[in-house]
A and B are shown apart, each in its own frame.
Chain A
Amino acid sequence: MQRLFVPLLLVLAVLLPLLAQASGMEYYIGVLTRILIFAMVAASLNFILGYGGMVSFGHAVFFGLGAYVTAIASFHGVTSAWLIWLLAALVTALVGLVIGLIALRTRAVYFIMITMALAQLFYYFFVGFRYYGGDDGLQVTARPLLGLGLDMSGDNAFYWVVLAWLMASLVLLQRLLSSRFGLALNAIRQNERRAQAIGYPALRYKLAAFVIAAVIAGLAGSLIGMSNLFASPKLLHWSQSGILLVMVALGGVGYFYGGLLGAAAFLLLEEVLSTHFEYWQIYVGLILLLVIMVAPRGVSSLATIGKTLRQGEQHGA
């Protein structure tokens, strides 16, 4: 049963837009697309945070940059989605490399504050850069083309493209984590000095992980640009980085599906609360506070606690 769980979930994910259509809830296809895109960013953040121990408070910068690559490319008449994805990957890899090189010189609180400040640098760049819309943001003139005889202009088709990207990212992250690289990264998080003594070049491993996470977030950003047909500097703002951290924390830091779960939980919570309350963020804050107090490692850890409790009962009996 457990081995069937993931494939079943995948089949359900593929069929979801059709189910939504059949039941007249087309509106939710857009919500689901957003969840998948944010799941991709949250998974990439969880990769460096939960496995690499890097508390990055500037992860939204890559997300926003990806969206701006889509908008700027479209502004200059680029229509190929593949070219945009390639550009988004290149730009975010480069920026990730530079930010990583600066931020990884420091550790702990300094790392948190510096990633946050460096991300603000890019936020203010786009706010001030009036040629590309300044603080009004930049429209994407039309959804880019996929070619190969495929069409992603429809909501369903776009959802499937996003799902494919999410799957590809998750597979990549899973393979990385179970490889020598992932094991080394884990060792570095647990005890950097010891890992270094064994001979792992800790800085290079952390930097590589940081850049990989940046590229995945950038690709997700390009997708949010294609989804909203709009790039806003707000996507890069530090509060957006905070929300990404909240997603990972809600879902479970260092649990493979933590990012996915957290993104879904946060966006559904937002969806429900914002339809009922004008000032819904206050409730998000209260729920977050409760989760931190009760289960600091996120919802995923509760499942483990449940399992441990049940095991305890069996032993007791």
Chain B
Amino acid sequence: MGNLIFEQVLNSLQFGVMLFLIASGLTLIFGVMNFVNLAHGSFFMIGAYVAAVAAGASGSFWLGLLVALPATAALGFLLEWLVFRRLYKKDHMVHVLATFAFILIFNDGVRMIWGPQPLPLNMPAAFAGPVNLFGLPYSSYRLLVMAVGMVVAVALYLLINRTRIGMWVRAGANNLEMVTAMGINIGLLFRLVFSFGLLLAALAGIMLGPLVAVQAGMGDDVLILAFVVVVIGGIGSVPGAAIGALIVGVVDTLGRSLLPQLFALFLSADAAASVGPALGSMMIYLVMIAVLFWRPSGLFPART
């Protein structure tokens, strides 16, 4: 039991860190451009697909990563210029519909190109085995995922709070007219923030690729989790996304793995097998409702 809890706590942290990468991009795009991007999960998927193809062809996971990141960001840059920038001024309903259309296009698009079967994406050979962590074996690849996520989170913090571009982004989120008046090329800034947010989602997709199946629709449920993270943290707030991602990662992983066993203690095996998993996957939504009852605009509301 101790082993299991230790492993699940690490898994939930690793999942939380990855959720942060997805949710921070989502919330950044909303915070700066006021744009609701349902297709965010699709870029999580596209990143994983491109990495799987490139890694399959070259035999190296790292090469896959190196190809997929700029490729996904470039696709985002192009689509922002072609389509999304025309939608910023329209209402959220239009954002939702247009990006939903892209979910349909991307999901069937990858099926059309790569077929309905999941693609294999193998973890790098150096990280395939377990490591000894305080006397307990744990997947070294999952540790790597966690480390990558945390390094990116710190870099993102420094980028936003310590650089000139970060300053423009923060200013843009607060007062767009002022930033434009200061002579910043707002169109280019938007395009960069947009593609950077998608790059973060793609990174999460590539890192999680070896742990989940690389298949069409893999970003759809991740998107909802990212929404829950963003709602809990407060829309537009990157620190909020970090706290929200940790809460959702921990509650979701522990709820799914431990609740069925907890119920087995005082319910019949049959009832526990039915109620446990159902309640386990509902936990994060119950947490979200609790947070919203307490603070309707999330824990760290970015806009007042």
Contacts and interface: CB of A to CB of B under 8 A. Distances in A.
Interface stretch (B7-15, B91-99, B190-198, B238-246): B91-99
* Secondary structure type dominating chain B contacts: helix
Contacts of A284: 101, 104
Interface in B183-227: 220, 224, 227
Contact of A246 (B100, B275, B278, B286): B100
A112 interface: yes
Query: What is the size category of the interface that chain A forms with chain B?
Result: 35 or more
Interface stretch (A76-84, A100-108, A165-173, A174-182): A100-108
Given A129-B274, A239-B220, A285 B92 contact: no
A11 interface: no
A159 interface: no
A128 B90 contact: no
Interface string A102-142: 10011011101110111011001111111100000000000
- Among B104, B231, B235, find the residue whose CB has the most chain A CB atoms closer than 10 A: B104
B282 A296 contact: no
Given A106-B297, A246-B97, A289-B83, A117 B105 contact: no
A117 B228 contact: yes
A18 interface: no
A281 B112 CA distance: 11
Given A128-B280, A282-B109, A286-B105, A238 B224 contact: yes
Contacts, number: 133
A76 B107 CA distance: 38
B138 interface: no
- Among B96, B228, B235, find the residue whose CB has the most chain A CB atoms closer than 10 A: B96
B94 A292 contact: yes
A55 B289 contact: no
A197 to B, nearest CB: 22
B112 A128 contact: no
Given A108-B92, A120-B224, A284-B104, A114 B278 contact: no
A110 B228 CA distance: 10
A289 B101 contact: yes
B93 A286 contact: no
Interface in A255-287: 278-282, 284-286
Interface in B35-52: 36, 38
A150 B278 CA distance: 40
Contacts of A278: 112
A115 B90 CA distance: 21
A289 B231 contact: no
Nearest to A102: B289
A263 to B, nearest CB: 16
Contact of B108 (A114, A131, A279): A279
Given A105-B296, A128-B279, A282 B104 contact: yes
A55 B96 contact: yes
A124 B279 CA distance: 8
Interface residues of B, number: 48
A285 B273 contact: no
Contact of B96 (A112, A118, A124, A281): A112
B253 to A, nearest CB: 15
B231 A114 contact: yes
B108 A281 contact: yes
A109 B297 CA distance: 10
A242 B107 CA distance: 14
Contacts of B166: none
B3 to A, nearest CB: 25
B140 interface: no
Given A109-B235, A117-B224, A292 B292 contact: no
A97 B283 CA distance: 21
A71 interface: no
Nearest to A99: B289
A288 interface: yes
A253 interface: yes
A57 interface: yes
A121 to B, nearest CB: 4
30 contacts: A55-B96, A57-B96, A106-B297, A108-B92, A109-B30, A109-B92, A112-B92, A113-B230, A114-B231, A114-B292, A117-B231, A125-B282, A126-B278, A127-B281, A128-B274, A128-B277, A128-B280, A128-B281, A129-B274, A238-B220, A242-B100, A246-B97, A279-B109, A279-B111, A281-B104, A284-B104, A285-B102, A285-B104, A292-B101, A296-B94
Interface of B: 30, 36, 38, 83, 86, 90, 92-94, 96-98, 100-105, 107-109, 111-112, 220, 224, 227-228, 230-231, 235, 273-282, 285-286, 288-289, 292-293, 296-297
Interface of A: 49, 55, 57, 102, 105-106, 108-110, 112-114, 116-118, 120-121, 124-131, 238-239, 242, 245-246, 249, 253, 278-282, 284-286, 288-289, 292-293, 296
6 interchain residue pairs of minimum CB distance: A128-B278, A285-B104, A285-B105, A282-B108, A121-B285, A124-B281
Given A57-B96, A113-B231, A245-B93, 4 more contacts: A106-B297, A109-B30, A125-B282, A288-B98
